[in-house]
Amino acid sequence: MESVRLIDEWPVDDAATAVVAADGSVLGRHGDTARKFRLASVSKPLTAYAALIAVEEGVVELDTPAGPEGSTVRHLLAHTSGLAFDAHKAMAAPGTRRLYSNAGFEQLADALAEHSGIPFAQYQAEALFTPLGMTSTALDGSPASGAVSTVDDLVAFAAELQAPKLLDPATVAAATDVVFPGLSGVLPGFGHQKPNDWGLGFEIRDHKSPHWTGARSSPRTFGHFGQSGTFLWVDPDAGAACVALTDRAFGPWAAEVWPRYTDAVLADLGA
């Protein structure tokens, strides 16, 4: 795929990328895909997936109380617990607003640790990273933003998202469909979105504008981007996923080049 070479034009010191087909094969890669990068909020889908594994293992249920009063695991995953962005403080009643919250993912991890009796980072490593062979991935800090990984490892995760082996495919389908539909909110870096659709730990593209994916991206596209200049998306209609990691913090540069890159990738795929 020639499109993957577009990352050479990005205003960053280091970048790596890969495009992954629905069957897990790598359709294209470029850059040092074994280099470790800080993921920032691309950590959240990894945390969410570990939480969904915990649900299937019976450690918790989606309706298990967690977070502020009236909130559940489901609310925390969907950014509807009412918690503030970075403060462990309730700003709204659960289920009434889409308030993107790092604190919510920290309280989610705390709840999982409490119910499992295992520190969250250990549970995540044993339940997710080790089975997928993600040997260069680790949670080094907040479960909302502290993971470190490589493109090569995230290729394995992108393959899992498209053809789940650790979860029932129905669980992944439910997690990547809209939860608490119709709620508005701010998509960090891209302003107020009405609605601001999310699944369980995954942002849903839907018809948001502006957005960090491309004009060619289907409404069913889901994924996440991080303030460290990172993203992972899966477009079920295109039958592919894309990972890109950089060493430059998110800013106007990313909002400009990421959608153009995504459109080039999708054009290469004939999507």
Run of H or E residues at 193: strand 191-193
Structure tokens at 221: 């596209």
Alpha-carbon distance values, 137 to 108, 156, 159, 181, 244 (Å): 20, 11, 16, 33, 15
**N- to C-terminal Cα separation, the chain:** 14
Q: Which of 145, 150, 146 is nearest to 36 (CA)?
A: 150
198 class by beta-carbon count within 10 Å (0-12 exposed, 13-18 middle, 19+ buried): buried
Q: Is the dihedral of CA 160, 164, 167, 169 positive or negative?
A: positive
User: pLDDT value at position 21?
Assistant: 98
User: pLDDT value at position 142?
Assistant: 98
Round to whole Å and give the CA distance between 212 and 260.
9
pLDDT by residue for the chain (271 residues), tens only, comes to 999 999 999 999 999 999 999 999 999 999 999 999 999 999 999 999 999 999 999 999 999 999 999 999 999 999 999 999 999 999 999 999 999 999 999 999 999 999 999 999 999 999 999 999 999 999 999 999 999 999 999 999 999 999 999 999 999 999 999 999 999 999 999 999 999 999 999 999 999 999 999 999 999 999 999 999 999 999 999 999 999 999 999 999 999 999 999 999 999 999 7
User: pLDDT value at position 205?
Assistant: 97
User: pLDDT value at position 18?
Assistant: 98
